[in-house]
């Protein structure tokens, strides 16, 4: 028995698969988690935060009388307790590196016979007061041979409160040769007075990378071929527990054929979903192919897979795709543990779906798993889950709206390079109006200013006609830039209204002259802008508003310009939003943006709500001007805005709806 223990001890032989004789058949038939059990602190994987301090304490000779090892199952608590006892009782100890040749080291080695001075107690079956009293009576006897008498109490949380109280005095003031090691998965259930007298070392789940390297080392030592795609399945099924992972690997190695452990056999044996089914489902969702989605569900059921397990695996795949979309090099960073050939395909899937769709799909699958727990029809639950993922238009939540908006943006990006002669989409941003492009056959002399008319109706008709100064520019200019006018500035009488709210008689001629000057290429003064000209500058104004307040920007998406009189701007908005737009905080932001883009000193009024400042009345322009964009402009008519692209208009409506929903529900 001693030779068997020594042959499987890497500390003494350096090879866990040393040759064994016919009498060592029991050793070769050991389970992997027993055969490859750690014998030194250096062999404990994934617990460096515990093993390093313990080794430093042993090297310094700072030995405590009681230790508490806590953590999930299968992470090395009991093995570390045995290694600690081995290090304390080594002939060269206490030492962080047991020699492995003395009687104590060989007896406490993995698969060794055990030492009489190291007592392991299963607290699940010895948790009463009588057991505690018996332990207390035996603890005062000195060790038979070794330096310390060590009690390893496994599953310590099962000890009753009365039994812990019976041990309290012994744990608090033990003899010099006595050491307690409590191992538990639930440290909160250990009596507080006991826990306060121990050195607590919390163990953690083993990281996937360290666990996978450990499994690869064991498969090489066993001499059985394993396909690379199998080990990630074992690591995921083990859940960070070394013992669980080794048990699963042991089962796969036991059923391996001449070709070794194949991916197909591992999938069938572990009950996990085949990666091909997950790929088909994700590809069908990315293409919006409902037939392929439900055919994949039928293949899942026909293959005998559990629909709920398929949903869990689909959620894991969506998690990986979300990481690949957010972090393109997630595979290189170790955030996504998949083979390289599959990683390229998954990166393509993440690119085709997009972050908004992936996040929404993951939320739907997670919610469905919680709501359909214990359902009587798993297939129906899976099909309804797929129906919810395939119909973003049927949902009104923000996640569905973001997915639809992302799909529209992707379509616009894909259609940016249109063939020659095709209709180009309208530009999203319009810079400040500048002088229109000159044709080769057009003289450079500016057109003469129209002759002023004394008839108010004629002047009003003339003001409603579109001018060349407000035509959208062909090339985009930087935001909030207006070319300086080469002509002299307009007179004060042309921009200042009279005290009674109507324009003076002598100012009509100056106003018409200013309009003619603007048509010649100069930017109009703020007071000379009409509603049509301000609508052309409105996108630039909204961009400046957005830099100051996104809330005001979202509110203004629902407002329209209905009238501009001098420096008085009147907006129209739905009744529910008009009062919010008319608040001082919002009108101040809009007023500053107008000053930045146009200049002047503006006053803002909102139709349906109390205006921010009183506006002078003008009987001559009491009726709102008709919007030239509402008419059907001719294809070659100069000075008329280009019709908005349908997809651009749909995106604007979606953004407005998103902004309104975020205002209604800020959280």
Give yes or no: residues 183 and 240 share one domain: no
CB within 8 Å of 551: residues ≥ 6 apart:
586, 663
**What does the pLDDT average to over 362-388?**
88
Which residue would you say has higher pLDDT here, 87 or 457? Answer: 87
For residues 546 and 611, state if they share a domain.
yes
Q: Do the Cβ atoms of 51 and 75 come closer than 8 Å?
A: no
Q: Say yes or no to pLDDT of 97 above 70.
A: yes
Residue 516 lies in a domain: no
Q: What is the CATH number of the domain that holds 611?
A: 3.30.300.180
Please say whether the beta carbons of 331 and 343 come within 8 A.
yes
Whether residues 307 and 259 fall in one domain: no
Write the CB contacts of 137 (distance below 8 Å, at least 6 apart in sequence).
none
> What pLDDT is stored for residue 652 in this prediction?
62
pLDDT attached to residue 584: 86
Is residue 494 assigned to a domain? no
Query: Cα dihedral angle (537, 539, 542, 544), rounded to 10 degrees?
Result: -70
586 plus 645 within the same structural domain: yes
Res 13 pLDDT > 60? no
β-pairing, 568-572 vs 560-565, is antiparallel
Which pLDDT does position 371 carry in this prediction?
A: 84
**Together in a domain, 63 and 41:** yes
Please give the pLDDT value at position 658: 61
Q: Please, which residues bridge with residue 46 across strands?
A: none
Residue 598's Cα: distance from chain center in Å? Answer: 41
Closest CA to 517 of 431, 446, 438: 446
Q: Is residue 257 domain-shared with residue 326, that is, in the same domain? A: no
In a domain, 350, yes or no: yes
Separation CA 330–CA 534 (nearest Å) = 48
Instruction: List, for residues 432-454, the tens digit of each pLDDT value.
Output: 444 444 444 444 444 444 444 44
Is 604:571 a contact under the CB 8 Å cutoff? Answer: yes
Identify which of 396, 337, 360 has the alpha carbon closest to the alpha carbon of residue 285. Answer: 360
Average pLDDT over the chain, rounded to an integer: 74
**Are both 243 and 304 inside the same structural domain?**
no
**214, 195: one domain:** no
In a domain, 499, yes or no: no
Query: Do 295 and 353 share a structural domain?
Result: yes
Instruction: Tell me the HSE value of 131 on the side-chain side, using a 13 A CA sphere.
Output: 16
**What backbone torsions phi and psi does residue 387 show, to the nearest 5 degrees?**
-65, -40
Report the distance separating Cα 578 and Cα 610, nearest Å.
9
Q: What is the pLDDT of residue 305?
A: 84
Q: What is the CATH number of the domain that holds 77?
A: 3.40.50.300
Domain containing residue 261: CATH number: 1.10.8.60
32 in a structural domain: yes
Whether residue 463 lies inside any domain: the answer is yes
The angle subtended at Cα 392 by Cα 389 and Cα 396, nearest 5°, is 125
Choosing from 158, 183, 202, the residue where a domain stops is: 202
CA 40 – CA 10 distance, rounded (Å): 9
- Angle, in degrees to the nearest 10, between helices 307-326 and 275-287: 60
Looking at residue 110, its pLDDT comes to 86
- State residue 627's pLDDT score: 47
Distance, in Å, from the CA atom of 359 to the CA atom of 337, rounded to the nearest integer, reads 20
In the prediction, which pLDDT does 548 show?
A: 87
What is the residue range of 245's domain? 208-270
pLDDT over 90, % of the chain:
24
| Block residue for tokens 């919002």 | 586
- Tally Cβ neighbours within 10 Å of residue 661: 14
Q: How confident is the model at residue 637 (pLDDT cuts 50, 70, 90)?
A: very low
How large is the average pLDDT for residues 232-246? 89
Per-residue pLDDT at 184 exceeds 60: yes
pLDDT in tens, 510-529: 434 343 333 333 344 444 57
Q: How many domains does the chain have?
A: 4
Q: Residue 614 corresponds to which tokens in the numbers above?
A: 């009183």
Residue 589 has pLDDT above 50, yes or no: yes
Asked whether the predicted pLDDT for residue 610 surpasses 70, the reply is: no
What does the chain come to in residues?
A: 667
Q: What is the CATH number of the domain that holds 294?
A: 1.20.272.10
Cis before 464 (ω within 30) = no
Q: Let me know whether 301 and 345 are in one domain.
A: yes
> Same domain for 264 and 300?
no
Domain assignment present for residue 502? The answer is no
Per the CB < 8 A criterion, the answer to whether 87 and 179 are in contact is no
Name which residue leads in pLDDT, 400 or 27: 400
Single residue among 270, 289, 310 that ends a domain in this structure: 270
Task: Give 488-510 pLDDT, tens digit per residue.
Answer: 344 333 334 443 443 333 334 34
Q: Flag whether pLDDT at 414 surpasses 50.
A: yes
Q: SS3 for 508-571, per residue?
A: HHHHHHHHHHHHCCCCCCHHHCCHHHHHHHHHHHHHHHHHHCHHHHHHHCCCEEEEEECCEEEE
Domain's final residue, options 223, 248, 270: 270
pLDDT, position 247: 92
Structural tokens at position 416? 């940016």
Q: What are phi and psi of 599, to 5 degrees?
A: 100, 180
The stretch 227-243 carries a mean pLDDT of 88
Task: Please say whether the dihedral angle defined by the alpha carbons of residues 15, 16, 17 and 18, taken in this order, is positive or negative.
Answer: positive
Task: Give the chain's end-to-end CA distance (angstroms, integer).
Answer: 67
Q: Does residue 419 lie within any of the structural domains? A: no
Q: What are the tens digits of pLDDT across the range 296-318?
A: 999 999 888 889 989 999 999 99
pTM of the model: 0.53
Q: Are residues 665 and 568 in the same domain?
A: yes
């Amino acid at each position: 028995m001693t030779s068997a223990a020594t042959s499987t001890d890497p500390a003494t032989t350096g090879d866990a698969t040393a040759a064994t004789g016919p009498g060592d058949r029991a050793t070769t038939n050991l389970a992997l988690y027993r055969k490859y059990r750690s014998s030194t602190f250096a062999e404990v994987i994934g617990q460096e935060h515990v093993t390093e301090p313990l080794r430093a304490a042993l090297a310094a000779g700072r030995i405590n009388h009681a230790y508490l090892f806590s953590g999930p199952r299968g992470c090395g608590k009991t093995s570390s307790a045995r290694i600690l006892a081995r290090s304390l009782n080594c002939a060269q100890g206490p030492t962080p590196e047991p020699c492995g040749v003395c009687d104590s080291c060989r007896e406490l080695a993995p698969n060794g016979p055990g030492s009489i001075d190291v007592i392991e107690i299963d607290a699940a079956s010895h948790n009463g007061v009588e057991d505690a009293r018996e332990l207390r009576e035996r603890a005062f006897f000195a060790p038979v041979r070794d330096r310390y008498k060590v009690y390893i109490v496994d599953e310590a949380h099962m000890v009753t409160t009365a039994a812990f109280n019976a041990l309290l005095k012994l744990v608090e003031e033990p003899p010099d040769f006595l050491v307690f090691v409590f191992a538990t998965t639930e440290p909160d259930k250990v009596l507080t007075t006991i826990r306060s007298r121990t050195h607590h070392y919390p163990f953690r789940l083993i990281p996937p990378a360290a666990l996978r390297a450990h499994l690869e080392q064991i498969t090489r030592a066993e001499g059985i071929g394993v396909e690379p795609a199998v080990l990630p399945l074992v690591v995921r099924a083990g859940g960070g527990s070394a013992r669980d992972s080794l048990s699963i690997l042991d089962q796969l190695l036991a059923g391996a054929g001449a070709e070794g452990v194949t991916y197909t056999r591992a999938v069938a044996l572990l009950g996990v979903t085949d990666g091909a089914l997950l790929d088909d489902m994700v590809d069908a969702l990315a293409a919006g192919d409902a037939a392929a989605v439900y055919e994949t569900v039928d293949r899942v059921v026909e293959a005998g897979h559990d629909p709920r397990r398929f949903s869990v695996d689909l959620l894991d795949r969506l998690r990986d795709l979300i990481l690949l979309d957010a972090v393109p090099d997630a595979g290189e960073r170790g955030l996504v543990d998949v083979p390289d050939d599959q990683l390229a395909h998954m990166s393509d899937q993440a690119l085709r779906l997009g972050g908004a769709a992936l996040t929404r799909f993951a939320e739907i699958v997670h919610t469905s798993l919680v709501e359909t727990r214990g359902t009587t029809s798993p297939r129906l639950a899976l099909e309804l889950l797929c129906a919810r993922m395939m119909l973003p238009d049927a949902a009104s939540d923000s996640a569905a709206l973001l997915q639809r908006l992302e799909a529209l943006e992707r379509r616009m990006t894909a259609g940016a390079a249109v063939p020659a002669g095709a209709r180009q989409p309208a530009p999203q941003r319009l810079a400040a109006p500048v002088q229109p492009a000159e044709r080769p056959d057009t003289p450079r002399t500016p057109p003469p200013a129209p002759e002023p008319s004394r008839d108010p109706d004629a002047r009003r008709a003339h003001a409603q006609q579109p001018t060349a100064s407000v035509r959208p520019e062909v090339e985009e200019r930087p935001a909030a830039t207006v070319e300086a006018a080469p002509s002299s500035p307009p007179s004060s009488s042309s921009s200042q209204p009279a005290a009674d709210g109507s324009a003076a008689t002598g100012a009509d001629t100056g106003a018409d002259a200013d309009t003619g000057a603007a048509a010649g290429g100069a930017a109009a003064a703020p007071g000379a802008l009409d509603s049509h000209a301000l609508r052309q500058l409105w996108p630039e104004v909204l961009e400046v508003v957005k830099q100051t307040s996104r809330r005001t920007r979202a509110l203004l998406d629902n407002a329209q310009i209905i009238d501009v009189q001098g420096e008085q701007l009147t907006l129209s908005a739905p009744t529910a939003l008009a009062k919010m737009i008319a608040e001082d905080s919002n009108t101040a932001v809009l007023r500053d943006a107008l000053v930045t883009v146009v200049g002047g000193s503006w006053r803002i009024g909102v139709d349906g709500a109390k205006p921010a400042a009183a506006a002078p009345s003008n009987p001559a322009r009491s009726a709102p001007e008709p919007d030239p964009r509402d008419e059907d402009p001719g294809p070659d008519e100069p000075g008329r805005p280009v019709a908005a692209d349908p997809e651009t208009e749909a995106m604007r409506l979606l953004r407005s709806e998103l902004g309104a929903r975020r205002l209604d529900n800020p959280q």
